[in-house]
């Protein structure tokens, strides 16, 4: 009878195989637990160290972009506002230049009139000197050349009156140019001429001449502090002289000088 071979593994072998399986399972489980533990602890670290800074930087970049956009918009508005102001200034400069040109034209006209008045005054002064020399050297024709009612005396009075009118005309132009010093000087000279003429005037003109001198005194008293008041008195005196010293109306009133302290120089 042939020998039967026993193929059934022994108990030791089976225990060895079972231990190997258990160890393999434990090893696999340990690896899985290690992986899970590593993932559990490493993910927050990675998030904190890498992902969170990126997100923070992204948010900051968004805020910076928004601020830059707001600042650019504000700068654009400021530039637009400055451009508008510059345009307004350019327009005003153009208007001022035109106004200045007009004013320069008016000043030139006034200066031309002043030059004309100055020439007339010098001419009348020359005539006055010639008449004075004629009166001093004339001996014959006393009825014509001597006396308050003589032709020579009348001509002298007319020249003096014309000089006063030209002086007051020039004074008015100086007032228009705000040159109160030269204006006052011309009014003072005209006033002195007319004052010296009082004793030579016909009786019917004396009262009107005195009225003119009174207005010139008031004008002098208001210069240079109150030129607006002074010019009215100069105009009234000028009108009296231009009209040949007309008779005063019976109800003529003394001008109200309460607006400014008028004093006789």
Nearest to 182 by CA among 193, 172, 195, 196: 172
Cα dist. 78→68, 69, 84, 100 in Å?
A: 15, 14, 10, 32
Is 110 inside any structural domain? no
What is the tally of structural domains in the chain? 1
Is 235 inside any structural domain? yes
- Burial per residue of 50-81, b for 16 or more beta-carbon CB atoms within 10 angstroms, e otherwise: eeeeeeeeeeeeeeeeeeeeeeeeeeeeeeee
Is there a contact between 238 and 168 (Cβ–Cβ < 8 Å)? yes
Is 41 inside any structural domain? no
pLDDT tens readout for residues 44-99: 777 777 777 777 878 777 788 788 788 778 777 887 787 888 788 777 777 777 77
Mean pLDDT, residues 243-249 taken together: 81
Is 168 inside any structural domain? yes
CATH number of the domain residue 170 falls in:
1.20.120
Is 19 inside any structural domain? no
Q: Which residue has the higher pLDDT, 230 or 71?
A: 230
CA 5 to chain centre: 131
Is 140 inside any structural domain? yes
How high is the pLDDT of residue 254?
46
Most confident of 10-19, 23-32, 226-235: 226-235
Q: Which domain holds residue 164?
A: 122-242
pTM above 0.75, yes or no: no
CA 206 to chain centre: 51
């Amino acid at each position: 009878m042939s020998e039967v071979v026993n193929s059934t593994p022994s108990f030791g072998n089976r225990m060895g195989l079972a231990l190997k399986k258990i160890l393999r399972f434990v090893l696999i489980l340990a690896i899985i637990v290690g992986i899970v533990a590593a993932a559990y602890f490493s993910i927050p670290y990675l998030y904190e160290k890498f992902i969170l800074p990126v997100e923070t930087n992204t948010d900051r970049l968004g805020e910076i972009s928004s601020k830059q956009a707001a600042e650019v918009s504000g700068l654009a508005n400021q530039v637009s506002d400055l451009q508008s102001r510059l345009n307004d200034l350019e327009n005003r400069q153009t208007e001022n230049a035109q106004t200045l040109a007009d004013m320069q034209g008016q000043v030139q006209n006034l200066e031309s009139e002043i030059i004309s008045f100055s020439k007339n005054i010098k001419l009348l002064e020359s005539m006055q000197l010639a008449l004075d020399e004629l009166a001093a050297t004339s001996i014959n024709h006393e009825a014509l050349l001597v006396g308050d009612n003589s032709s020579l005396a009348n001509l002298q009075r007319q020249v003096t009156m014309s000089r006063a009118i030209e002086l007051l005309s020039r004074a008015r132009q100086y007032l228009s140019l705000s040159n109160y010093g030269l204006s006052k000087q011309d009014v003072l000279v005209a006033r002195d001429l007319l004052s010296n003429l009082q004793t030579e005037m016909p009786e019917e003109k004396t009262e009107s001449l005195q009225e003119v001198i009174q207005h010139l005194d008031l004008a002098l008293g208001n210069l240079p502090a109150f030129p607006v008041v002074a010019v009215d008195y100069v105009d009234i005196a000028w009108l009296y002289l231009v009209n040949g010293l007309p008779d005063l109306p019976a109800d003529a009133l003394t001008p109200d000088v309460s607006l400014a302290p008028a004093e006789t120089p």
